[in-house]
Amino acid sequence: MDRQLPAVHGPHGDDRLHGARPGPHPSPLARPLVSRARRVVWAVGTALALTVPVAVLVAAAATSPASQLRASVAEVVRVVSDPGLEARALERRQAIRRVAAEIFDFAEITRRVCGPHWSARTPAEREELTGLFRGLLERAYIARIEQYRGEQVVFAGESVDGDVATVRTRIVSRQGLEIPVDYRMLRRDERWVAYDVVIEGASLVANYRGQFNRILQGGSYAELVRRLRATLQRPEADDAAAARTSRAQ
Protein backbone atom coordinates (compact mmCIF):
# COMPACT_ATOMS: atom_id res chain seq x y z
CA MET A 1 0.00 0.00 0.00
CA ASP A 2 1.66 3.18 -1.14
CA ARG A 3 1.24 6.17 1.13
CA GLN A 4 3.22 9.33 0.94
CA LEU A 5 4.30 11.96 3.40
CA PRO A 6 3.74 15.21 1.52
CA ALA A 7 5.61 18.38 2.28
CA VAL A 8 2.85 19.49 4.60
CA HIS A 9 2.87 22.68 6.54
CA GLY A 10 6.40 22.52 7.00
CA PRO A 11 -9.53 -14.57 25.15
CA HIS A 12 -11.26 -17.26 23.36
CA GLY A 13 -14.79 -17.26 22.10
CA ASP A 14 -16.86 -14.31 21.08
CA ASP A 15 -17.15 -11.76 23.87
CA ARG A 16 -18.84 -8.49 22.97
CA LEU A 17 -18.27 -5.29 24.86
CA HIS A 18 -18.83 -1.66 24.10
CA GLY A 19 -15.67 0.06 22.99
CA ALA A 20 -14.01 2.37 20.55
CA ARG A 21 -15.64 3.54 17.39
CA PRO A 22 -14.87 2.16 13.93
CA GLY A 23 -14.18 4.10 10.83
CA PRO A 24 -11.15 5.39 8.97
CA HIS A 25 -8.96 8.22 10.18
CA PRO A 26 -6.62 10.02 7.81
CA SER A 27 -2.94 10.18 8.60
CA PRO A 28 -1.97 13.61 9.89
CA LEU A 29 1.02 13.39 7.54
CA ALA A 30 -0.63 11.99 4.44
CA ARG A 31 -2.80 13.06 1.55
CA PRO A 32 -6.34 11.63 1.26
CA LEU A 33 -5.96 7.86 0.96
CA VAL A 34 -7.98 4.79 0.11
CA SER A 35 -10.25 3.49 2.86
CA ARG A 36 -8.02 0.64 4.09
CA ALA A 37 -4.98 2.87 4.38
CA ARG A 38 -6.88 5.41 6.45
CA ARG A 39 -8.15 2.63 8.74
CA VAL A 40 -4.58 1.65 9.50
CA VAL A 41 -3.89 5.06 10.97
CA TRP A 42 -7.28 5.20 12.68
CA ALA A 43 -6.30 1.93 14.41
CA VAL A 44 -4.07 3.94 16.69
CA GLY A 45 -7.17 5.59 18.06
CA THR A 46 -8.93 2.29 18.53
CA ALA A 47 -5.93 0.73 20.22
CA LEU A 48 -5.41 3.64 22.55
CA ALA A 49 -9.10 3.54 23.40
CA LEU A 50 -8.53 0.04 24.79
CA THR A 51 -6.61 1.37 27.76
CA VAL A 52 -7.10 1.96 31.47
CA PRO A 53 -5.35 3.89 34.22
CA VAL A 54 -2.37 2.25 35.88
CA ALA A 55 -4.35 1.29 39.00
CA VAL A 56 -6.72 -0.78 36.91
CA LEU A 57 -3.90 -2.35 34.93
CA VAL A 58 -2.21 -3.64 38.08
CA ALA A 59 -5.14 -5.99 38.70
CA ALA A 60 -5.13 -7.16 35.10
CA ALA A 61 -1.37 -7.45 34.70
CA ALA A 62 -1.18 -11.13 35.68
CA THR A 63 -3.95 -12.07 33.25
CA SER A 64 -3.92 -12.45 29.50
CA PRO A 65 -3.42 -9.56 27.09
CA ALA A 66 -7.03 -9.95 25.94
CA SER A 67 -8.22 -9.58 29.53
CA GLN A 68 -6.32 -6.33 29.82
CA LEU A 69 -7.94 -4.98 26.70
CA ARG A 70 -11.42 -6.16 27.73
CA ALA A 71 -11.18 -4.35 31.06
CA SER A 72 -9.92 -1.30 29.24
CA VAL A 73 -12.96 -1.05 27.00
CA ALA A 74 -15.34 -0.74 29.93
CA GLU A 75 -13.22 1.97 31.54
CA VAL A 76 -12.82 4.03 28.41
CA VAL A 77 -16.54 3.88 27.65
CA ARG A 78 -17.17 5.23 31.13
CA VAL A 79 -14.78 8.11 30.58
CA VAL A 80 -15.92 9.16 27.13
CA SER A 81 -19.59 8.83 28.14
CA ASP A 82 -19.20 11.09 31.17
CA PRO A 83 -20.91 14.40 30.33
CA GLY A 84 -18.94 16.10 33.07
CA LEU A 85 -15.74 15.69 31.06
CA GLU A 86 -17.05 17.38 27.94
CA ALA A 87 -16.23 20.81 29.31
CA ARG A 88 -12.77 19.75 30.50
CA ALA A 89 -11.13 18.88 27.20
CA LEU A 90 -7.57 19.71 28.28
CA GLU A 91 -7.85 17.59 31.42
CA ARG A 92 -9.34 14.73 29.42
CA ARG A 93 -6.60 14.85 26.80
CA GLN A 94 -3.85 14.92 29.40
CA ALA A 95 -5.36 11.85 31.07
CA ILE A 96 -5.51 10.11 27.70
CA ARG A 97 -1.83 10.75 27.09
CA ARG A 98 -0.87 9.40 30.52
CA VAL A 99 -2.84 6.21 29.89
CA ALA A 100 -1.33 5.77 26.44
CA ALA A 101 2.14 5.85 27.96
CA GLU A 102 1.22 2.85 30.14
CA ILE A 103 -0.12 0.74 27.25
CA PHE A 104 2.01 1.52 24.22
CA ASP A 105 5.73 1.06 23.88
CA PHE A 106 6.30 4.13 21.74
CA ALA A 107 10.05 3.57 21.50
CA GLU A 108 9.46 0.04 20.17
CA ILE A 109 6.86 1.30 17.70
CA THR A 110 9.19 4.02 16.47
CA ARG A 111 12.12 1.59 16.20
CA ARG A 112 10.06 -0.76 14.04
CA VAL A 113 8.77 2.09 11.91
CA CYS A 114 12.31 3.34 11.26
CA GLY A 115 13.54 -0.15 10.38
CA PRO A 116 17.24 -0.25 9.40
CA HIS A 117 17.49 3.54 9.73
CA TRP A 118 17.09 3.24 13.51
CA SER A 119 20.62 1.90 14.03
CA ALA A 120 22.08 4.96 12.31
CA ARG A 121 20.47 7.36 14.76
CA THR A 122 22.14 8.58 17.94
CA PRO A 123 20.45 8.05 21.33
CA ALA A 124 19.38 11.70 21.30
CA GLU A 125 17.90 11.38 17.81
CA ARG A 126 16.04 8.21 18.77
CA GLU A 127 14.54 10.00 21.75
CA GLU A 128 13.57 12.94 19.56
CA LEU A 129 11.93 10.72 16.92
CA THR A 130 10.06 8.72 19.54
CA GLY A 131 8.65 11.88 21.10
CA LEU A 132 7.54 13.33 17.79
CA PHE A 133 5.97 10.11 16.50
CA ARG A 134 4.26 9.55 19.84
CA GLY A 135 2.74 13.00 19.59
CA LEU A 136 1.51 12.24 16.09
CA LEU A 137 -0.22 9.02 17.17
CA GLU A 138 -1.71 10.58 20.28
CA ARG A 139 -3.26 13.38 18.29
CA ALA A 140 -4.77 10.92 15.83
CA TYR A 141 -6.32 9.08 18.76
CA ILE A 142 -7.66 12.11 20.59
CA ALA A 143 -9.41 13.36 17.48
CA ARG A 144 -10.97 9.93 16.96
CA ILE A 145 -12.03 9.10 20.51
CA GLU A 146 -13.75 12.46 20.86
CA GLN A 147 -16.03 11.32 18.04
CA TYR A 148 -17.07 8.19 20.01
CA ARG A 149 -20.76 7.31 19.57
CA GLY A 150 -21.20 3.96 21.34
CA GLU A 151 -19.73 1.48 18.88
CA GLN A 152 -18.55 -1.95 20.01
CA VAL A 153 -15.44 -4.09 20.22
CA VAL A 154 -15.89 -7.87 19.89
CA PHE A 155 -13.05 -9.96 21.33
CA ALA A 156 -12.53 -12.90 18.97
CA GLY A 157 -9.58 -14.61 20.69
CA GLU A 158 -5.88 -14.38 21.38
CA SER A 159 -2.68 -16.29 20.72
CA VAL A 160 0.26 -16.13 23.13
CA ASP A 161 3.76 -17.41 22.41
CA GLY A 162 6.02 -16.66 25.34
CA ASP A 163 6.40 -12.91 25.58
CA VAL A 164 4.63 -12.19 22.28
CA ALA A 165 0.87 -12.14 21.73
CA THR A 166 -1.82 -11.19 19.25
CA VAL A 167 -5.30 -10.19 20.39
CA ARG A 168 -7.96 -10.51 17.70
CA THR A 169 -10.96 -8.20 17.78
CA ARG A 170 -13.64 -6.83 15.52
CA ILE A 171 -14.90 -3.26 15.60
CA VAL A 172 -18.67 -3.22 15.00
CA SER A 173 -20.46 -0.09 13.87
CA ARG A 174 -24.06 0.71 14.74
CA GLN A 175 -24.92 -0.21 11.15
CA GLY A 176 -23.41 -3.68 11.63
CA LEU A 177 -20.19 -3.11 9.68
CA GLU A 178 -17.38 -5.26 11.12
CA ILE A 179 -13.70 -4.37 10.79
CA PRO A 180 -11.09 -6.93 11.94
CA VAL A 181 -8.45 -5.40 14.20
CA ASP A 182 -5.45 -7.32 15.58
CA TYR A 183 -3.26 -5.99 18.38
CA ARG A 184 0.34 -7.21 18.41
CA MET A 185 1.74 -7.11 21.92
CA LEU A 186 4.89 -7.77 23.93
CA ARG A 187 5.20 -8.64 27.62
CA ARG A 188 7.15 -6.00 29.51
CA ASP A 189 7.71 -7.09 33.11
CA GLU A 190 4.21 -7.70 34.51
CA ARG A 191 2.10 -6.17 31.77
CA TRP A 192 1.50 -6.31 28.06
CA VAL A 193 2.20 -3.43 25.73
CA ALA A 194 1.17 -2.97 22.13
CA TYR A 195 3.73 -2.41 19.40
CA ASP A 196 1.53 -2.66 16.29
CA VAL A 197 -2.11 -2.61 15.20
CA VAL A 198 -3.32 -4.41 12.09
CA ILE A 199 -6.55 -3.42 10.34
CA GLU A 200 -7.92 -5.73 7.65
CA GLY A 201 -4.41 -7.12 7.21
CA ALA A 202 -2.76 -3.70 6.95
CA SER A 203 -0.12 -2.93 9.58
CA LEU A 204 0.25 0.49 11.17
CA VAL A 205 4.00 -0.02 11.56
CA ALA A 206 4.51 -1.20 7.98
CA ASN A 207 2.40 1.66 6.67
CA TYR A 208 4.43 4.35 8.40
CA ARG A 209 7.70 2.54 7.71
CA GLY A 210 7.13 3.08 4.02
CA GLN A 211 6.63 6.80 4.56
CA PHE A 212 9.66 7.22 6.80
CA ASN A 213 11.84 5.15 4.48
CA ARG A 214 11.03 7.33 1.46
CA ILE A 215 11.95 10.48 3.34
CA LEU A 216 15.13 9.08 4.89
CA GLN A 217 16.34 7.62 1.60
CA GLY A 218 15.42 10.57 -0.59
CA GLY A 219 16.06 13.32 1.91
CA SER A 220 17.49 13.32 5.38
CA TYR A 221 16.80 12.80 9.07
CA ALA A 222 16.42 16.56 9.41
CA GLU A 223 13.71 16.56 6.73
CA LEU A 224 11.75 13.85 8.56
CA VAL A 225 11.95 15.80 11.80
CA ARG A 226 10.89 18.98 10.01
CA ARG A 227 7.77 17.35 8.60
CA LEU A 228 6.82 15.76 11.90
CA ARG A 229 7.24 19.05 13.75
CA ALA A 230 5.24 20.94 11.13
CA THR A 231 2.37 18.48 11.45
CA LEU A 232 2.36 18.71 15.24
CA GLN A 233 2.29 22.51 15.04
CA ARG A 234 -1.03 22.50 13.22
CA PRO A 235 -4.09 23.26 15.40
CA GLU A 236 -5.69 20.21 17.02
CA ALA A 237 -8.97 21.50 15.60
CA ASP A 238 -7.69 20.38 12.19
CA ASP A 239 -7.46 16.81 13.51
CA ALA A 240 -10.99 17.00 14.89
CA ALA A 241 -12.30 18.21 11.54
CA ALA A 242 -10.53 15.35 9.78
CA ALA A 243 -12.07 12.88 12.24
CA ARG A 244 -15.55 14.24 11.56
CA THR A 245 -14.96 14.01 7.83
CA SER A 246 -13.75 10.41 8.00
CA ARG A 247 -16.71 9.51 10.21
CA ALA A 248 -19.05 10.61 7.46
CA GLN A 249 -17.30 8.46 4.82
Buried b (16+ CB within 10 A) or exposed e, 80-92: beeeeeeeeeeeb
Q: How many CB atoms lie within 10 A of CB 73?
A: 22
| CA distance readout (Å), 145 to 27, 193, 202, 223 | 15, 20, 21, 30
- Give pLDDT, residue 174: 83
pLDDT, position 218: 86
236-245: b (≥16 Cβ within 10 Å) or e: eeebbebbee
Helix axes 89-103, 35-49, angle to 10 degrees: 90
The residue among 60, 65, 217, 229 whose CA lies nearest residue 136 is: 229
CA pair distance 202, 181, nearest whole angstrom? 9
Measured distance CA(182)–CA(227) in Å, rounded? 29
Q: Which residues fall within 8 angstroms of residue 114, CB to CB, at 6 or more apart?
A: 121, 129, 209, 212, 216
Q: What is the pLDDT of residue 180?
A: 93
Domain 15-240 has CATH 3.10.450.710: yes
- Residue 190 and residue 61 in contact, taking contact as beta carbons nearer than 8 Å: yes
Rounded Cα gap, residues 3 and 208, in angstroms: 8
Max Cα–Cα distance, the chain, nearest Å: 48
Question: CA-to-CA distance for 167 and 149, rounded, in angstroms?
Answer: 23
Please state the separation of Cα 140 from the chain's center in Å: 7
From residue 79, alpha-carbon distances to 49, 57, 103, 222, 247 in Å are 10, 16, 17, 39, 21
Question: What pLDDT, on the 0 to 100 scale, is given for residue 113?
Answer: 97
Output b/e per residue, 124-163; b: 16+ Cβ within 10 A: eebebbbebbbbbbbbbbbbbbbbbeebbbbbbebebeee
**pTM given for the model:** 0.72
Structural domain boundaries in the chain: 15-240
Q: Give, for all 249 residues of the chain, the pLDDT tens digit.
A: 333 333 323 333 444 444 443 443 434 454 333 344 455 555 555 544 443 333 333 444 447 899 887 766 666 666 677 778 777 888 777 777 777 777 789 999 999 999 999 999 999 999 999 999 999 998 887 777 777 677 788 889 999 999 999 999 988 888 888 989 899 999 988 888 899 989 899 999 999 999 999 999 988 999 999 999 999 998 865 555 554 445 445
pLDDT, position 36:
46
